[in-house]
Chain A
Amino acid sequence: MDLRFAAEDVAFRDEARTWLTANAPTERRPKLGRAVRDYDLAWQRKLYEAGWGNVAWPVEYGGRDLPLIQQLIWFEEYARTGMRPIDTRFVGLAHAGPTLMARASDEQKSFHLPKILKGEVVWCQGFSEPEAGSDLASLRTKAVVDGDQLVVTGQKIWTSFADHSDYQELLVRTNNDVPKHKGITWVICDMKSPGIDIRPIRTIEGGADFNEVFYDEVRIPLANVVGDIDNGWSVAMSTLAFERGTAFTISQVQLAASVEELIELARSRRSINGRPVIDDDSLAKRLARARADCAALRSLTYLGISKNANSDQPGPEGSMMKLHYADLAKRVYRLGIEILGTRSLAIPVDEDDTEWIDKHLIAYSTSIGGGTSEIQRNIIGERVLGLPR
C-alpha cells in the first residue's frame, strides 16, 4: 500500500496543472441562453486541440486513454479550476460517447464520436419519463417502424440541456408484447427533427437546465438505432459504469474546497449576536465533521480507484460514493445558510452570498439525480450484501 504517487504520475500532475492554470476559462460561465452552449463547446475545442479532449476515451477514438490513477489526477486538477463537474458536454463525453463505442456500428461511431470530442455537438439524454423514474424500464414513449424509419410519439422529462442539444440518446418502446426490459430500443435522435417540442422546467434555484421533451410522430431513420431493435436495455446498461467512474472526483474535490471556504466564511462573519459565527460550538463541530467526512470520502475514492485499476468490473464504491456524497453535500451546503444567518434571506445583495444560497438549493438534487439515494441503497443492499429483493 502506498499513498505516494509514482514519479511519472507526479510529473503528469504538474503537466495537467500547468495546462489547466494557463487555459481554463477565467470568465464566468453564462447562466442562460445560447451563450451556455457556446461557452462549453469553446472550452471543449480548446481541450481537444491541446490533446485533453477526453482522458478516459480510448486512443483509437482520439482519447488519451490514461491509466486510472492519472485520470484521478486529471480530475483532481480539473476540480481546482472551479469548472462545473457537469455541463452541456457531459452526456456526449461521459454517457452517449462510451455507449456508442461499446455498441454502435462503425459508421455511427466514425460520424458521431469525432464531433463529440472536437466540441462540435451537444448531446442530451432521453431516458426518464413522467411515469418512468427509478423504474426506467417501464418507459412508454412509443416507436413504430414505418419503412426505413421509426415514428416516435411520447414524452421525456428531466432532459438536461435539451434546448442546447444536437443529438439525443433516446430510449423508446418498440414492443409491448414482451417483458418490459425486452421491448426497448436505443436510438440516436436528431433534436432538430420536426415534431419535437422542448419545454424548460424551472427548478428550485431558478435555473432551467432541465426540460420536458415532447415527440409528436417524430421520424428517425432506422439507421440511427444502436444495437438492435428491442435490445436497447442492454445498450443502455453497457455504460452505467461510466456515470459513476473517476469523473465523480471533480464533485468530491469541489465539495472539500467548499468546506474550506465555509470555515473561512464562519471565521470572517459575525453572527446576529455580534460574535464570530465560528464561536457557535455546534456549528464549529459540524464544520469539523464535514471536513473529516470530505477527507474520508477522498480515501474511499482512492480505495475504489485502487480496486478498479486492478479489475475490469467496477466495485460497489461507485454507488457508495454517490450515496455518501449526496448526504454530505446537503449537510455542507446547509451550513452555508446557517453561517449567513438572517442574511441568507436576501438573495440579490451580494454575489458571493448568492452562490451559497444557490449551492444549498441545488444540493437537494444530489440525492435524486443519476439514481436516487434510495435506489443506491437498494443496489448496495442487494448486490453487495445479498439482501432479498
Chain B
Amino acid sequence: MDLLPTPEQVEIIDSSATFLADQISIARTRELFESGELPAVGAAAWSAAAELGWFALGLPEDRNGIGCGLADEVLLFREIGRRLAPGPFLSTVLAARVASFGGHQGLSDEIAGGRRVGLVIPGSLDAIGPDGSIVGEVQLVDADPDGLVLTVTPTIAALVAVSSLSDVTEVPCVDPTTRLHRAVGTGVGPVSSVASEVDPVELRGHVLAAALLTGIVEWSRDTGSEHAINRVQFDKPIGVNQAIKHPCADMAVQAQLAYSQSLFGALSVDEGRADAEFQALTAHATAAAAAEFATGATLQIMGGMGFTHEHDVHLYVKRMELLSHTFGMPGLWLDRLLELPEPV
C-alpha cells in the first residue's frame, strides 16, 4: 500500500502543469470565451494536448495507448481542474476507451489524436436507452454539431452521432467556458458502445470528475489562503481572524480528503477491487461536496472582489456546478452508495 506518487507520476504532474500554464492559461480562456469561442480552448492547444498523449494516457498499450493507470489520469485531471482548462477533456478521454473497447480502434485512434467528443447530460435517467442510445431530452456539453457525444450509464457507455439527434439548439451554459446544446434523442443506435463489465467507463468518469473537482478545491484553498495572508484590514492581515483562518483550514482538510479519495477510487478501479463502484462514487461525492464548500468559502474570503466577473473565483464556482452535475448528481450517488455492499 502506497499512495505517494512515483518519480514518473511527479513528472506527469509537473509537465502537465507547465503545459497548462503555457498553453491553456485562464487569461487565454477568458479571451476565448469573451470573444464567443466555445469551448474556450484553442484548436492548437487541444492538438498539442493530444500530441502529449493526454487522451490515450490510460488506454492499454495494445490499444495504441500509453498504458498508464487511472491514478495517473487522476494526477493529470487534477491539474486540468486546478487551471480551469476548458474543453471536453473528460468525455474525450472516456470516448477513446469506448471506441476501442467497442471494437472501433480506428475511431479510438482518431479521438486519441484530438477529435473532440462531447458529453451527454440526460434530463432524466430514462433519456438514455439500455443500448446507450439517446431516447429523450438531453443536454450536450462541448459537442461539435458534426461530431460525436458520449452517453454514460452505470451499465453502458456509448458514442452517438449528434447529427442523429433532433432539435439541437445551442443555449448559454452556466459555465461560460463551456458550449451547451439542448437536443432530443431519436433512438438511433450508437456508433460504438461498451458494457460496464467490459470496461467500467462510468466509474472512470466519476473518478476523473473527482480529480477535476480536487483541482478546484486546491485552487480555492490556495487562493483563499493567499488573500488571507496579503489582505490587510484594521492594520492586520485578515487571516489572523479565526473566522477567516478556520475556513482556510477546513479547505485544506477538504482538499486532502478529495485528493486521497480520488486516488483510492482510481486504484480501486485499476486493481479491480470488489468495492470499486463504492470507492469511485465516494470520490465524486466527496470531491463535489469539498468543491462546493471551498469555492464558496474562497468567494466569501475575497469579499466584494469574489462577487465580480473580474476575479476568477466565479469561473471555479460555475465549473464546480458543471462537474457536480456530470454522471448524475450528488443525491443520486448517495442513493446508490447506501444500496451498495459495505466497502472491503
A residues near B, CB below 8 A?
A: 1-6, 9, 69, 72, 260, 263, 284-285, 287-289, 291-293, 295-300, 302-303, 305-307, 309-310, 316-317, 320, 323-324, 374, 376-378, 380-382, 384-389
Contact of B252 among A69, A310, A385 (CB under 8 A): A385
| Contact A299 B249, beta carbon cutoff 8 Å | no
| Contact B267 A2, beta carbon cutoff 8 Å | yes
Chain B contact surface mostly: helix
Most buried by B among A263, A376, A388: A388
Measured between beta carbons, the chain B residues less than 8 angstroms from A263 are 338
Binds A, one of B52-60, B101-109, B240-248, B319-327: B240-248
| Contact A384 B252, beta carbon cutoff 8 Å | yes
| Contact B337 A3, beta carbon cutoff 8 Å | no
**Interface assignment of B23: CB less than 8 Å from any CB of chain A:** no
Expressed in whole angstroms, the Cα–Cα distance for A305 and B5 within the complex equals 13
| Contact B285 A292, beta carbon cutoff 8 Å | yes
Measured between beta carbons, the chain B residues less than 8 angstroms from A6 are 1
Binds A, one of B30-38, B119-127, B168-176, B253-261: B253-261
Contact of B245 among A69, A287, A292, A387 (CB under 8 A): A387
Contact of A300 among B228, B256, B281, B285 (CB under 8 A): B256
Expressed in whole angstroms, the Cα–Cα distance for A259 and B173 within the complex equals 39
**Interface assignment of B198: CB less than 8 Å from any CB of chain A:** no
Measured between beta carbons, the chain B residues less than 8 angstroms from A309 are 2
**Interface assignment of B178: CB less than 8 Å from any CB of chain A:** no
Expressed in whole angstroms, the Cα–Cα distance for A388 and B250 within the complex equals 16
Expressed in whole angstroms, the Cα–Cα distance for A126 and B122 within the complex equals 61
**Interface assignment of B311: CB less than 8 Å from any CB of chain A:** no
Question: What are 22 inter-chain pairs, A to B, with CB distance below 8 A?
Answer: A1-B4, A1-B69, A5-B1, A6-B1, A285-B338, A288-B335, A288-B338, A291-B282, A295-B279, A296-B257, A296-B261, A297-B257, A298-B264, A299-B263, A300-B261, A306-B1, A316-B252, A320-B253, A377-B249, A381-B239, A385-B228, A387-B240
| Contact A377 B246, beta carbon cutoff 8 Å | yes
Expressed in whole angstroms, the Cα–Cα distance for A260 and B341 within the complex equals 10
| Contact A374 B242, beta carbon cutoff 8 Å | yes
| Contact B71 A1, beta carbon cutoff 8 Å | yes
Expressed in whole angstroms, the Cα–Cα distance for A320 and B257 within the complex equals 9
B residues near A, CB below 8 A?
A: 1-6, 9, 69, 71, 221, 225, 228-229, 236-237, 239-240, 242, 244-246, 248-250, 252-253, 256-261, 263-264, 267-268, 271, 273, 278-279, 281-282, 285-286, 289, 331, 334-335, 337-338, 342-343
| Contact A303 B267, beta carbon cutoff 8 Å | no
Measured between beta carbons, the chain B residues less than 8 angstroms from A380 are 249, 252-253
Q: Which 7 A-B pairs have the closest CB atoms?
A: A299-B264, A299-B260, A288-B334, A380-B249, A377-B249, A387-B239, A381-B245
| Contact B335 A285, beta carbon cutoff 8 Å | yes
B13, chain A: closest CB distance, angstroms: 12
The closest CB in chain B to the CB of A2 belongs to B2
Expressed in whole angstroms, the Cα–Cα distance for A263 and B337 within the complex equals 11
Chain A contact surface mostly: helix
| Contact B3 A381, beta carbon cutoff 8 Å | no
Measured between beta carbons, the chain B residues less than 8 angstroms from A288 are 334-335, 337-338
| Contact B338 A296, beta carbon cutoff 8 Å | no
Contact of A387 among B5, B228, B271, B281 (CB under 8 A): B228
The closest CB in chain B to the CB of A316 belongs to B252
The closest CB in chain B to the CB of A321 belongs to B253
Measured between beta carbons, the chain A residues less than 8 angstroms from B258 are 296
| Contact B271 A4, beta carbon cutoff 8 Å | yes
Expressed in whole angstroms, the Cα–Cα distance for A9 and B242 within the complex equals 43
Measured between beta carbons, the chain B residues less than 8 angstroms from A389 are 240
| Contact A293 B249, beta carbon cutoff 8 Å | no
| Contact A381 B246, beta carbon cutoff 8 Å | yes
| Contact A3 B271, beta carbon cutoff 8 Å | yes
A20, chain B: closest CB distance, angstroms: 19
Measured between beta carbons, the chain A residues less than 8 angstroms from B250 are 377
Measured between beta carbons, the chain A residues less than 8 angstroms from B260 are 296, 299-300, 302-303
The closest CB in chain A to the CB of B259 belongs to A303
B262, chain A: closest CB distance, angstroms: 8
A330, chain B: closest CB distance, angstroms: 15
Q: A1-B9, A387-B245 are in contact. List 16 more A-B contacts (CB 8 A).
A: A1-B2, A3-B268, A6-B1, A263-B338, A284-B335, A292-B286, A293-B286, A295-B282, A300-B257, A300-B260, A378-B245, A378-B246, A385-B252, A386-B229, A387-B225, A387-B228
Measured between beta carbons, the chain B residues less than 8 angstroms from A303 are 3, 256, 259-260, 263
| Contact B264 A3, beta carbon cutoff 8 Å | yes
Measured between beta carbons, the chain A residues less than 8 angstroms from B245 are 377-378, 381-382, 387
Expressed in whole angstroms, the Cα–Cα distance for A36 and B243 within the complex equals 42
| Contact B261 A385, beta carbon cutoff 8 Å | no
Contact of B334 among A72, A289, A374, A378 (CB under 8 A): A289
Contact of A295 among B4, B252, B278, B335 (CB under 8 A): B278
| Contact B229 A1, beta carbon cutoff 8 Å | no
Most buried by A among B71, B240, B245, B281: B245
Expressed in whole angstroms, the Cα–Cα distance for A310 and B282 within the complex equals 27
Knowing A296-B261, A299-B260, A387-B225, say if A378 contacts B267 (CB, 8 Å).
Answer: no
| Contact A69 B229, beta carbon cutoff 8 Å | no
The closest CB in chain B to the CB of A386 belongs to B229
Measured between beta carbons, the chain B residues less than 8 angstroms from A299 are 3, 257, 260-261, 263-264
Measured between beta carbons, the chain A residues less than 8 angstroms from B248 are 381, 385, 387
Measured between beta carbons, the chain B residues less than 8 angstroms from A377 are 242, 245-246, 249-250
Measured between beta carbons, the chain A residues less than 8 angstroms from B239 are 381, 387-388
| Contact A284 B249, beta carbon cutoff 8 Å | no
Most buried by A among B228, B257, B279: B257
Knowing A384-B252, A387-B248, say if A307 contacts B4 (CB, 8 Å).
Answer: yes
Most buried by B among A263, A317, A377: A377
| Contact A302 B3, beta carbon cutoff 8 Å | yes
| Contact B242 A295, beta carbon cutoff 8 Å | no
Most buried by B among A305, A320, A374: A320
Knowing A296-B260, A303-B260, say if A320 contacts B335 (CB, 8 Å).
Answer: no
Most buried by B among A3, A9, A324, A378: A3
| Contact A320 B1, beta carbon cutoff 8 Å | no
Measured between beta carbons, the chain B residues less than 8 angstroms from A307 are 4
Expressed in whole angstroms, the Cα–Cα distance for A293 and B71 within the complex equals 20
The closest CB in chain B to the CB of A322 belongs to B253
A376, chain B: closest CB distance, angstroms: 8
| Contact A388 B1, beta carbon cutoff 8 Å | no
Measured between beta carbons, the chain A residues less than 8 angstroms from B286 are 292-293, 296
